[in-house]
Amino acid sequence: MTGQSVEVTLLGNTQDGGYPQVGCLKDCCMKVRGNVSLSRMPVSLGLKGADGLTHMVEASRMMSQQFDLWNSLGAVSWPPSSFTLTHAHLGHIDGLGLLGREVMGLRGVRVHCSDSMSRLLRKTPSWNIMIEQGVIDLDIWIPGVPFEPSVGCGFTITAIPIPHRSELSDNHALIIRGKSKSLLFMPDQDSWEETIIEDIGIVEWLNRMDIDIALIDGTFWDYDEISSRDITEIPHPPVTETLDRLGAKKNGDPDIEFTHFNHTNPLLEMNSVQSKKLLSMGWGISEQGGVYRL
């Protein structure tokens, strides 16, 4: 181990469609179209270990732009040594094909995932052929058991089952634990009632897992954003509910930042009334390009 700190870089902070979202002609997206500085990519993490090797969480179709962002913040080795996938929804897995012959032409890329995800990859022809060709090498985790993406990386990843639409695969949050701090990455969940089955609050739940930094599902500010949609099709606890459960931040509470924003979410605007309210309570809004040192 080289003694370097472990760095986690947020390579995107929006949900699967990105921002602006394709086909959206509303003000929320029209005002940022053509402005690269205001656009945002699907949620993903770049991990740089103490050994200097890099790893990614999620495989977004915008991997090229995410690498450019990551590299602009400090030279990183490419390609990553591994990918870790939380679940099978569009923005979290749709870039996996970029690793194959048509684009990067890689070999032996380790992909950490659940048994459910591995079965999906093997039964999907466009992904299974990558396994057969040796492009990707599946490594199935055991939920709750830490693993090192590379020997000497200086951190572990632990997958925690989290209920969220399982029509394709199951879903997990990830605890990334370094030498001095730990970070929870939980961009998707159906509801707090299903995630925290005990009668405890969010902060106590995080404290029981010894979490210092939590990046949590902030997809919608409230359901008024998507009044034309059936919320049962896209369940996520709104930020307003989460704030009601949290209350104001107190000394000793973990740092909680919201992420995975829908293109309609006013938290994408730092000067919005909603952003100011959230920040006044002591909680955070994740920033694309933000770096967390563990």
Task: Please give the pLDDT value at position 1.
Answer: 39
Q: Which two tokens stand for residue 276?
A: 């100011």
Separation of alpha carbons 262 and 10, rounded Å = 16
> Residue 98 contacts by C-beta under 8 Å, 6 or more apart in sequence?
59, 61, 63, 64, 104
Give me the residues paired with residue 139 across strands.
112
- 141 lies in some domain: yes
Task: Please give the pLDDT value at position 34.
Answer: 85
Q: What is the mean pLDDT of residues 46-56?
A: 95
Task: Please give the pLDDT value at position 3.
Answer: 55
- 246 lies in some domain: yes
- 1 lies in some domain: no
**CA neighbor of 112 nearest in space, from 134, 154, 90, 82:** 82
230: containing domain: 7-293
Average pLDDT value over all residues in the chain: 94
Please tell me the pTM assigned to this model.
Answer: 0.95
Q: Give 3: exposed, middle or buried? Use CB within 10 Å, 0-12, 13-18, 19+.
A: exposed
**What is the separation of C-alpha 58 from the centre of its chain, rounded to a whole number of angstroms?**
7
CATH of the domain at 160: 3.60.15.10
Look at the chain and report how many structural domains it folds into.
1
Task: Please give the pLDDT value at position 2.
Answer: 46
Q: What is the mean pLDDT of residues 65-87?
A: 93
158-207 pLDDT, tens digit per residue, is 999 999 888 889 999 999 999 999 999 999 999 999 999 999 999 999 99
Task: Please give the pLDDT value at position 229.
Answer: 63
The values of phi and psi at residue 255, to 5°, are -80, 120
Q: What is the DSSP letter of 208?
A: H
**CA neighbor of 85 nearest in space, from 55, 105, 65:** 55
Pure H helices in 27-158: 27-30, 63-72, 90-93, 115-123, 125-132
> Residue 7 contacts by C-beta under 8 Å, 6 or more apart in sequence?
47, 48, 74, 291, 292, 293, 294
- 158 lies in some domain: yes
Residue 110 has pLDDT above 90, yes or no: yes
Please give the helix or strand (H or E) that residue 287 lies within, else none.
none
Q: What is the mean pLDDT of residues 32-51?
A: 93
Separation of alpha carbons 196 and 175, rounded Å = 16
- 96 lies in some domain: yes
77-89 pLDDT, tens digit per residue, is 889 999 999 999 9
- 2 lies in some domain: no
> Residue 120 contacts by C-beta under 8 Å, 6 or more apart in sequence?
88, 127, 168, 169
- 155 lies in some domain: yes
Please give the helix or strand (H or E) that residue 105 lies within, else none.
none
